[in-house]
């Protein structure tokens, strides 16, 4: 089974210039804890609700002036939409991440997949992936 069959496709990008309050409000509206950060339709990083708290608030950044680019994770983990669910689960284990961005062959963001998405179709793969991630934490 290809990852494109189970990924979430309504992924939104934010600009590195997006403020922390804007990020938090977008996460609230979309009911997500993770946003891709893009520049000119290309991935630049990711930002999570945890990044807002740890790299933003706890680090003493001003909520009114700090930007996504200040707190985002620049190391981007991704797979192609043509990859198999099993291969994506393996890469999530290797990278110890709970979400994976999915790109088209042209390297454009087309989706995101979580451990929960994988668990719905590959119980064995999701169990191994979650075990590796939680052991690393």
Q: Which residues of the chain have pLDDT under 50?
A: 126
Phi, psi (deg, nearest 5) at residue 21? -65, -40
pLDDT tens figures, 94-124: 999 989 999 999 999 999 999 888 888 876 5
**Global pTM?**
0.80
**E-assigned strand segments in the chain:** 13-14, 34-39, 42-48, 78-80, 99-103, 109-114
Domain boundaries, the chain: 3-136
pLDDT of residue 79: 97
pLDDT of residue 19: 96
Q: Measured at the alpha carbon of residue 81, what is the angle toward residues 79 and 85, in degrees to the nearest 5?
A: 75
CATH entry 3.90.420.10 includes domain 3-136: no
How far apart are the C-alpha atoms of 115 and 67, rounded to whole Å?
28
Neighbour-count burial for 96-106, b at 16+ CB within 10 Å, e otherwise: ebbbbbbbeee
Angle between helices 85-95 and 123-136 (to 10 degrees): 10
Q: What is the DSSP letter of 56?
A: I
């Amino acid at each position: 089974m290809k990852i494109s069959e189970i990924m979430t496709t309504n992924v939104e990008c934010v600009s590195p210039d997006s403020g922390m309050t804007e990020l938090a409000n977008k996460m609230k509206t979309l009911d997500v804890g993770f946003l891709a950060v893009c520049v000119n339709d290309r991935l630049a990083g990711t930002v999570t609700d945890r990044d807002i708290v740890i790299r933003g608030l706890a680090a003493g950044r001003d909520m009114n002036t700090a930007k996504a680019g200040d707190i985002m994770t620049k190391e981007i983990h991704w797979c192609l939409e043509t990859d198999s669910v099993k291969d994506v689960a393996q890469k999530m284990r290797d990278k110890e991440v709970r979400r994976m961005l999915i790109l088209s062959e042209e390297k454009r963001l087309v989706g995101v997949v979580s451990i929960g998405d994988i668990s719905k179709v590959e119980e064995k793969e999701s169990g191994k992936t979650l075990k590796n991630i939680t052991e690393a934490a």
